[in-house]
Amino acid sequence: MKYPVLLAALLAGTSFMANAQQAKPEDTEVWEPVPKVVTPAARPGDAPSDAIILFDGTNLDQWVQNNDGSPAKWDVKDGVLTVNKNYGNIETKKAFTNYQLHIEWREPVGLEGTGQGRGNSGVFLASIGKGDAGYELQVLDPYNNKTYVNGMAGSIYKQAIPLANPGRPNGEWQTYDVIWTAPTFNTNGTVKTKARVTVLFNGVLVENNFELWGPTLYIGKPEYKAHGAAPIKLQAHGDKSIPLSYRNIWVREL
């Protein structure tokens, strides 16, 4: 290295050291905005202080029928909400964008049928119309029940295969903890950002910030259509097996 180049390097190093010495710890401290205080639940899985309670075991005041907006008609007994297949899907009165959702579900003992015909339901993370229009997190008997893997419990229906199957036997309560980031759209209706979802199934990560291709479909290729905030929907599937149940449903808007 020639002397002029060496001198320049030494001077640059000296300047760097001087700047570093002038820097202070408080230069990188951020004091505002202060995060709000949230009181956690006393027991894991229970709702924190800022949650919206969607079902507490007593009534369906937060829900309506998806087909006509009338009061929800599923069965509530002993703190449990059981699907009533005679009335179809139900959805929340309130619409949501981004949120944290906790929901517990239980397949009944004595289930008959196989595959998609065995304890089928779904949590639609955004309901964008009648019937099964929306983005579905599959609910299905997860225990020794063979089906297509992008339709098993914990899947984003026909889009994302779960990373594991931590399902419990029939008769035991299962839990989903979901982080939902809604899609956004440009003023001309084109997609600005796609929907993303993270799902923990019985405490096990099964969907890791998965980017959805569009609403979930039984047949065909998903395609986004512009929409805004949307209700959360529970499915009354038409399979012939005896109905499953839900409990302890709450959501935190993000």
CA dihedral (184, 190, 192, 194) positive or negative: positive
Residue 129 has pLDDT above 70, yes or no: yes
Distance CA 237, CA 44 (A): 30
Q: Say if residue 170's pLDDT is above 60.
A: yes
What would the mean pLDDT of 221-235 be, rounded to a whole number?
97
* Residue 17 pLDDT exceeds 60: no
Distances (CA, A) of 36 to 32, 42, 49, 178: 11, 19, 11, 21
Q: Max CA-CA distance within the chain?
A: 89
**CA pair distance 162, 127, nearest whole angstrom:** 21
Predicted structure pTM score: 0.90
Burial class from Cβ neighbours inside 10 Å (0-12, 13-18, 19+) for residue 109 reads exposed
What does the pLDDT read at residue 7? 47
Q: Give the confidence band of 21 by pLDDT, cuts at 50, 70, 90.
A: confident
pLDDT value of position 18? 56
Q: Is the pLDDT of residue 3 over 60?
A: no
For residue 4, what pLDDT is reported?
56
Cα(201)–Cα(174) distance, integer angstroms:
7
Asked if residues 74 and 87 have their Cβ atoms less than 8 Å apart, the reply is yes
Contact call for residues 239 and 120 (beta carbons, < 8 A): yes
Range with lowest mean pLDDT among 13-17, 19-23, 59-63, 245-249: 13-17
CA distances, 169 to each of 34, 66, 111, 142, 213 (Å): 44, 30, 11, 8, 31
Which positions ≥6 away from 159 have C-beta within 8 Å?
A: 150, 210, 212, 213, 216, 222
Q: What is the pLDDT of residues 62-94, one digit of tens each?
A: 999 999 999 999 999 999 999 999 999 999 999
Give backbone dihedrals phi and psi of 74, rounded to 5 degrees, phi first.
Answer: -70, 170
For the segment 93-112, what is each residue's pLDDT rounded down to a tens digit?
A: 999 999 999 999 999 999 99
Beta bridge partners of 137: 123, 156
Which segments of the chain does DSSP mark as H helices, in order? 3-22
Tell me how far apart the alpha carbons of residues 210 and 160 are, in angstroms, rounded to a whole number.
7
Helix (H, G, I), strand (E, B) or coil at 212: coil
Mean pLDDT for all residues in the chain: 93
Taking residues 230-254, what's their average pLDDT?
A: 96
105 within 8 A of 139, measured Cβ to Cβ: yes
Report the pLDDT averaged over residues 27-32. Answer: 94
What is the Cα–Cα distance from 13 to 39, expressed in whole angstroms? 50
Q: What's the rounded Cα separation, in Å, for the pair 152 and 165?
A: 9
Q: How confident is the model at residue 14 (pLDDT cuts 50, 70, 90)?
A: low
